């Protein structure tokens, strides 16, 4: 009875829409055009279904997102609980008082049915797996494929949705790898990772800028090609898209990275990168490449000095109106050296703080340590 008293006391919520969605990618497509200032609730789960309450009268949605205009009993509870959360009414305290802590949220039990207000964020996380000897942060970390697989499982269990696998380093002191050798190493790596996918739910991304490797990947069990050069041939990108694989185009001036080659100091890096992204999207569109399969990355640390990198991060919202998904890859990079002298491997806290600024506004974050984000996000989520 107490639960229904809470619901009956909630004010009119007609200006809010309860959405049910299949995946966060579909939800992000609906939310982004509404703007940054729109209020929305935590993500709620009811069995395998996920919900979010949005401060907007949404009529038109996309595939994978449903407007719950005739909510059932349990969806009504979610709507009222979420409304109390968004408006921060005292009713929220009453709801939360009847919950218990579970792995990923607060569980509310109604007649043997569980509703969870989750601690999920809107972005999907790329976990970096570099099977190399000379990557700037984790080169030589894995001595064999078994250790790589163990870390892959750990990252997935920590909340990663995507494993981004690279077998060639692009740091300034790295040794270039020819495509033939890259394919040879990837063949062995993918054998292990694909086997893991039969037991765990995750997406596979391959970090490569070699055209020959991309051509080979078209027929492989992977989902994303992450190109740090951002300069693959249009025909190659179209072939990847037709094979239902996504392509990440990262802005860079030279690969491998070279600290002496960067944007001019008088150049506005946001204007430069935005123009580059717009030009890329026009090329893709003219080539009839599905923009739903395109992800753009501004390339923090590639062709920009620390002062420019911080400028890009502070003004990142400019990119949100682009008609494609966005990725931010800032993990442990050298621009953090502008604020402290920590070794590269000790920059996880700094990486997490930047990630939390963008985690509900961007599509993808690419990081080395997923676990620390999932440990600290619930705290930030409850403060802001």
Within 13 Å and on the Cβ side, how many CA atoms surround 351?
28
Confidence label for 106 from pLDDT (cuts 50, 70 and 90)? very high
Q: What's the whole-number mean pLDDT along residues 186-195?
A: 92
What's the chain's average pLDDT?
91
What's the pLDDT tens digit per position in 108-159? 999 999 999 999 999 999 999 988 764 444 545 666 788 888 999 999 999 9
The per-residue pLDDT for 146 is: 85
The per-residue pLDDT for 169 is: 79
- Domains of the chain: residue spans and CATH: 2-118 (no CATH), 124-383 (3.20.20.20)
Question: Token pair for residue 334?
Answer: 């050298």
113 vs 199 pLDDT, higher one? 113
Q: What's the whole-number mean pLDDT along residues 329-353?
A: 93
The per-residue pLDDT for 1 is: 33
The per-residue pLDDT for 257 is: 79
The per-residue pLDDT for 6 is: 41
Residue 86 near residue 16, CB atoms below 8 Å: yes
What is the Cα–Cα distance from 158 to 153, expressed in whole angstroms? 9
Q: What's the whole-number mean pLDDT along residues 325-334?
A: 96
Distances (CA, A) of 86 to 30, 38, 81, 91, 268: 18, 11, 9, 11, 37
Residue 5, pLDDT > 50, answer no
DSSP alpha helices (H): ranges in 202-264? 211-217, 234-242
The helix (run of H) or strand (run of E) holding residue 103 is: none
Rg (CA), the chain: 22
Residue 171, pLDDT > 70, answer no
12 vs 95 pLDDT, higher one? 95
What is the Cα–Cα distance from 220 to 113, expressed in whole angstroms? 41
Q: What's the whole-number mean pLDDT along residues 204-221?
A: 97
Question: Token pair for residue 32?
Answer: 């982004």
Backbone phi, psi, residue 319, to 5°: -75, -15
The per-residue pLDDT for 174 is: 64
Of 125-139, 262-276, 298-312, 360-374, which range is least confident? Answer: 125-139
Any idea what DSSP says for residue 12? -
Residue 187, pLDDT > 80, answer yes
DSSP alpha helices (H): ranges in 158-254? 179-197, 211-217, 234-242
The per-residue pLDDT for 134 is: 47
Residue 265, pLDDT > 50, answer yes
Question: Token pair for residue 340?
Answer: 């402290």
Distances (CA, A) of 195 to 124, 198, 201: 22, 6, 11
Confidence label for 36 from pLDDT (cuts 50, 70 and 90)? low
% of the chain surpassing 90 pLDDT: 76
The per-residue pLDDT for 355 is: 96
The per-residue pLDDT for 141 is: 63
Most confident of 26-35, 305-314, 344-353, 365-374: 305-314
Q: What's the whole-number mean pLDDT along residues 61-70?
A: 92
Q: What's the whole-number mean pLDDT along residues 78-95?
A: 96
Residue 15, pLDDT > 70, answer yes
Q: What's the whole-number mean pLDDT along residues 314-343?
A: 95
Within 13 Å and on the Cβ side, how many CA atoms surround 155?
30
């Amino acid at each position: 009875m107490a639960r229904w008293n809470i619901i009956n006391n909630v004010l009119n919520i007609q200006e809010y829409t309860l959405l049910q969605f299949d995946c966060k990618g579909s939800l992000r497509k609906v939310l982004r055009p509404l703007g940054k200032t729109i209020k929305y609730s935590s993500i709620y789960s009811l069995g395998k279904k996920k919900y979010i309450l949005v401060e907007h009268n949404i009529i038109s949605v996309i595939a994978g997102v449903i407007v719950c205009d005739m909510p059932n009993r349990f969806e009504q509870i979610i709507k009222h609980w979420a409304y109390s959360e968004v408006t921060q009414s005292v009713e929220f305290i009453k709801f939360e008082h009847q919950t218990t802590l579970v792995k990923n949220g607060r569980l509310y039990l109604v007649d043997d049915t569980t509703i969870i207000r989750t601690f999920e964020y809107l972005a999907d996380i790329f976990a970096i797996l570099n099977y190399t000897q000379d990557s700037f942060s984790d080169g030589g970390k894995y001595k064999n494929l078994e250790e790589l697989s163990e870390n892959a499982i750990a990252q997935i269990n920590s909340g990663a949705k995507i494993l981004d696998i690279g077998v060639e380093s692009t740091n300034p002191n790295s040794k270039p790898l020819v495509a033939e050798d890259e394919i040879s190493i990837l063949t062995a790596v993918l054998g292990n990772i694909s086997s893991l996918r039969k037991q765990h739910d995750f997406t596979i991304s391959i970090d490569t800028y070699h055209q020959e490797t991309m051509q080979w990947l078209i027929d492989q069990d992977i989902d994303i090609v992450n190109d740090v050069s951002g300069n693959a041939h249009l025909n190659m990108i179209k072939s990847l898209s037709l094979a239902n694989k996504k392509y990440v185009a990262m802005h860079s001036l030279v690969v491998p990275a070279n600290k002496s080659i960067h944007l001019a100091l008088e150049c506005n890096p946001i204007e430069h990168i935005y123009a580059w992204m717009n030009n890329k999207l026009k090329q893709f569109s003219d080539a009839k490449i599905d923009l739903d399969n395109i992800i753009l990355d501004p390339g923090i640390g590639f062709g920009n000095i620390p002062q420019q990198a911080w400028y890009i991060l502070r003004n990142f919202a400019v990119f949100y109106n682009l008609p494609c998904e966005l990725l931010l890859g800032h993990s442990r990079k050298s621009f953090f050296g502008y604020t402290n002298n920590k070794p590269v491997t000790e920059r996880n806290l700094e990486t997490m703080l930047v990630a939390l600024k963008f985690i509900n506004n961007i599509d993808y974050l690419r990081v080395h340590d997923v676990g620390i984000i999932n440990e600290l996000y619930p705290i930030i989520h409850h403060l802001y």
